[in-house]
């Protein structure tokens, strides 16, 4: 195994991890009701789902995990998962 093969495998792992994170964030954003977003003061459902969906599409189409567009959308997915998702969970009652 040479260095270039190892770099390719590391790149593939980063690509798949980012794809899973963005996919989970998008699906989770779709599952919450639209009324929960303004109630938690975290924007609108349309803005989050469009942004996260564009990030997911960009990840699939560009297939380069370390470019600026994918980095920006990955940060948006992390912001959703770390800040918006817990706020939505507090507002909604998931039983």
Once rounded to an integer, what is the mean pLDDT over residues 12-18?
90
Question: What pLDDT was estimated at residue 65?
Answer: 64
| In the predicted structure, residue 16 carries a pLDDT above the cut 80 | yes
Side-chain half-sphere exposure of 10, counting CA atoms within 13 A = 7
Q: Which residues contact 21 (CB under 8 A, 6 or more apart)?
A: 74, 77, 78, 81
Q: To the nearest whole percent, how much of the chain has pLDDT over 90?
A: 63
User: In terms of pLDDT, which residue wins out, 64 or 95?
Assistant: 64
Binned at pLDDT 50, 70 and 90, residue 8 comes out as confident
The string of pLDDT tens digits covering residues 35-81 is 999 998 989 999 999 999 999 999 988 766 668 888 899 999 999 99
Residues 53, 26 contacting (CB under 8 angstroms): yes
Quote the pTM value: 0.87
């Amino acid at each position: 195994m040479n260095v270039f093969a190892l770099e390719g495998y590391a790149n593939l792992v980063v690509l798949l991890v980012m794809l899973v994170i963005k996919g989970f964030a998008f699906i989770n954003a779709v599952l919450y009701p639209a009324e929960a977003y303004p109630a938690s003061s975290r924007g609108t459902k349309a803005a989050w789902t469009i942004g996260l969906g564009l990030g997911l599409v960009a990840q699939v189409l560009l297939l380069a995990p370390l470019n600026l567009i994918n980095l920006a959308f990955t940060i948006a997915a992390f912001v959703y998962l770390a800040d918006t998702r817990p706020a939505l969970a507090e507002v909604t009652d998931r039983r």
